[in-house]
Structure 1
Amino acid sequence: MSTTTKLRLLDEASSIMDKGIVSRLQKSPLVKITGDNLNMYIKTGQKSIEKSNRDLHLFASNVLFNRVQ
């Protein structure tokens, strides 16, 4: 899978999760949010002027909803 495809899938997943979190917050506002930095180093198969190794610095987060109401 290419880097562009991976990044597009991450964007799509975050959009879906954002909508899900908003709908759950409307029903139950009791949540715990945690987060951490996520650093990824992506090596390219063949280096060129257009393609080079990339460093991605992301923030990963978790939302835990209270199951007891």
Structure 2
Amino acid sequence: MINLTGVIFDGANLKNANFSGFNLSNTSFKKANLQGANLENCNLANVDLTDANLEDINLTGVKKEEGRRKREEV
């Protein structure tokens, strides 16, 4: 498992990125473009996906309680 714990991807263009099986715990994807990204079997504990583009992402094998998606109210 590739470990990217705590990496900050805020605002990054990660369209169609392949993170399959990665440890992404405590990672930030605020306002990142994750359209079509593969997050299959990832550790998404405490991931921040605030305002990220999550269109067509693959979350196969990710437990619901491992990730969180929050959206700031304007």
Q: Scaled by the length of structure 2, what TM-score is found?
A: 0.21
Q: Greater share of helix residues, 1 or 2?
A: 1
Q: Greater share of strand residues, 1 or 2?
A: 1
Of structures 1 and 2, the one with the larger relative CO (CA 8 A, separation 6+) is 1
